[in-house]
Copies of this chain bind each other. A is one copy, B any other.
Amino acid sequence: MSSNHLRKQTWLTKYIPSLAWLRHYEKDDFNSDLFAGIITAILFVPQGIAYAILAGLPAQVGLYASILPPLIYAFLGTSRTLSVGPVSIAAIMIASAISAPELQAFGSPLEHAIILAAEGGLILLAMAVFQMGSLVKFISHPVLSGFTSGASILIVFSQLPHLFGVNVKPCGSDIACIVEQSLNLNPYATALGLFSFIFLLMMGKPLTKWLSRMDLRKTLVTGISRTAPLLTVVITTSLVSYFHLSSQHSVTIVGQIPEGLPDLDLFGMFDSANHWLALLPSAIFISVIAYVESVAIALVTANLRNQKIDNNQELIALGGASLASAVSGGMSVAGGFSRTMVNFSAGARTQLAMIIAVALLALALIFFTDQFTNIPKAALAAIILVAIMPLIKIKEIIHTFQFDRADAVTQTITLVAVLVLGIEEGIALGVLVTFIAYLRRSSLPHIAIVGRMPGTEQYRNILRHDVETWPRLLLLRVDENITFANIGFITDTITEKVDENSDIRDVVLICSSVSHIDMTAYEAIASLAESFSNLDIRLHLAEVKGPVMDKLSNMHIERDLHGGQIFFHTSDAVEQITQNNK
């Protein structure tokens, strides 16, 4: 399917992108989707339960969030392979939001989680209506990456007690208490946790490498490797059941999960209307981050197959998915990185793979919930750890330092702020730092003093080229739009150069890169020209672009330059000025 394909879209395929692929669906597509759907379904149960527990919610909340939301996304989303459901980052944000002390007094964590999902869905839909998808660009790459690393580290720490079966009591700075706790680890849980961790690691790269050498089909290799979480759960759960590890050795397990599909409740979440306002800031952060992360993941797979992601339609699809999650008693959802990659690398061609995975999960919920009871939390902690580790990108920060210091600083500040101040505070601070860094850089435009390349009509930077200059003439090129943000620096630079050389009688500002001059800048240029005219120095402009020139003429620039002129080409300026000076 070429990228030109989307041009033929109708109103209907724009808002229900699934129609596009349903119309051209073939037998071959189905085989691929069926295989990918089964492989992804295997991940649904352990991840769903694990992320619900990570969020501090009952296990079924994660499973319910894996049913309706991916179905809604399948029909409304523009990505063919994004797997929508509960994700780790959203889970830890939910955990942080619903543990706020002011909420604890009234309502249950589950009620709050459902409100967060509903509110977040409505926020994304509202952003779609007002075409505000582009607003999220202010969550720049460094902020997102620093945030993801920071949140992932928080998740690791939140899972360590589960991995070792430690019952966390608040210790504060009581060292005796901390030592007691760490000695208090449950050896059975620890064994299960470490086994799961190592097993999952071995089933990853080492296994795929080994299998690849055996010349198997790539999707089959992926398929085998991706059963690791299910195998982990099956093995550890069997051990727990067989040796009665839960009842006799206090290994924490998931516990009873209600049988069957979730009930739909369209209006229950509106009962506690006064919590909506208290949860609004968290809902904004969770839904915006979910959206940004989902689109980023969707783009990765779409780029590989030359498919397109429509930002605004994604707002609709993800907003609808989150709302559907709330209606069916689930938590906030997003496109999951590991699940999407499993789905994609297992060969999924369309969202039918997700529909198949959902059908399998629904069957499991109807018939096999009893089997989930004895899943040890230590194994789930190991699954989360293995899934989250690739998201901690300390190397990337070091790499960014070589590329752009401001970006690396933003990334580091965001990461540290997430760990020290909190998740939402970290994002907010990151966005603020991005803003300040951006304005700071904008206020220091690149200004080159130029001269003529001998024998040509080209004018280049005197620092980098061996060019002709004239003692009474200063030629400056500003390489950015001239606005309130940078005019101070520009006039300071010009004045400084003029002060350094008292021979200068003419200054030419070359505006070839200037597409915009604002009012503040105009006033400052006029004021500088007036000040110069008293010193018998003229300020000229050259190579002013058409639209800029029209605006300058409206303002009577000829008068405001106080004797300065406007030249079409820099060479005209040089010719005329050097002529006059003779």
Binds B, one of A119-127, A136-144, A374-382: A136-144
- What residues of B have a CB within 8 angstroms of the CB of A275 in the complex? none
CB within 8 A of A520: which of B141, B303, B445? B141
Contacting B at CB under 8 A, from A493-532, are 495, 498-499, 502, 513, 515-516, 518-520, 522-523, 527-528, 530-531
- Interface readout for A276-304 with B: 1 if CB under 8 Å, 0 if not? 00000000000000000000000110111
Residues on the B chain within 8 Å of A19, using CB = none
Asked if A244 CB lies within 8 Å of chain B CBs, one says no
Say if the beta carbon of A555 comes within 8 Å of chain B. yes
Give the shortest distance, in Å, between A506 (CB) and chain B (any CB): 16
Asked if residues A141 and B400 are in contact (CB atoms below 8 Å), the reply is: no
Whether A518 lies near B4 (C-beta < 8 A) is no
Flag whether A484 is at the interface (Cβ < 8 A).
Answer: yes
**Distance, CA A445 to CA B479, complexed state (A):** 13
The yes or no answer to A181 lying at the interface (CB within 8 A) is no
Pairwise interchain contact A527-B303, C-beta atoms closer than 8 A: yes
Q: Answer yes or no: A434 CB below 8 A from chain B CBs.
A: yes
Residue pair B443, A137 in contact (C-beta under 8 Å):
yes
When the two chains form their complex, are residues A438 and B483 in contact, meaning their CB atoms are under 8 A apart? yes
Measured in the bound complex, the distance between the Cα atoms of B195 and A54 in whole Å is: 79
Question: How far apart are the CA atoms of A126 and B142 in the complex, in Å?
Answer: 32
Whether A516 and B441, one on each chain, are in contact in the complex, defined by CB atoms closer than 8 angstroms, is: yes
Q: Could you tell me if B484 and A522 are in contact, using CB atoms closer than 8 angstroms?
A: no
Q: How far is the CA of A528 from the CA of B300 in the complex (A)?
A: 10
**A519 near B484 (CB under 8 angstroms)?**
no
Cβ contacts A373-410/B at 8 Å (1 or 0 each): 00000000000000000000000000110111011000
Bound-state CA distance A140–B484 (Å) is 6
Say yes or no for A107: interface residue by CB 8 A criterion: no
Against B, the Cβ 8 Å flags (1 = close, 0 = not) of A114-137 are 000000000000000000001001
> Which chain B residue lies CB-closest to A400?
B519
Shortest Cβ distance from residue A571 to the other chain B in the assembled complex, whole angstroms: 13
Q: Which of B402, B481, B520, B531 contacts A306 (CB 8 A)?
A: B531
Q: Does A580 contact B (CB under 8 A)?
A: no
Interchain nearest-CB distance for A311 vs B (Å):
8
Q: A480 contacts the other chain (Cβ, under 8 Å)?
A: yes
> Top 7 nearest A-B pairs by Cβ distance?
A141-B520, A140-B484, A303-B531, A407-B519, A446-B515, A402-B554, A513-B513
Give me the interface of A with B, judged by CB distance under 8 Å.
Answer: 2-4, 6-7, 134, 137-138, 140-142, 299-300, 302-306, 399-400, 402-404, 406-407, 411, 434, 438-439, 441-443, 445-446, 464, 479-481, 483-485, 487-488, 495, 498-499, 502, 513, 515-516, 518-520, 522-523, 527-528, 530-531, 534-535, 546, 551, 554-555
Given contacts A140-B520, A142-B520, A402-B554, 20 further A-B contacts (CB under 8 A): A2-B502, A3-B499, A7-B499, A137-B485, A137-B487, A138-B439, A303-B528, A303-B530, A304-B531, A306-B531, A306-B535, A403-B522, A403-B551, A403-B554, A404-B519, A404-B551, A407-B519, A407-B520, A441-B516, A446-B515
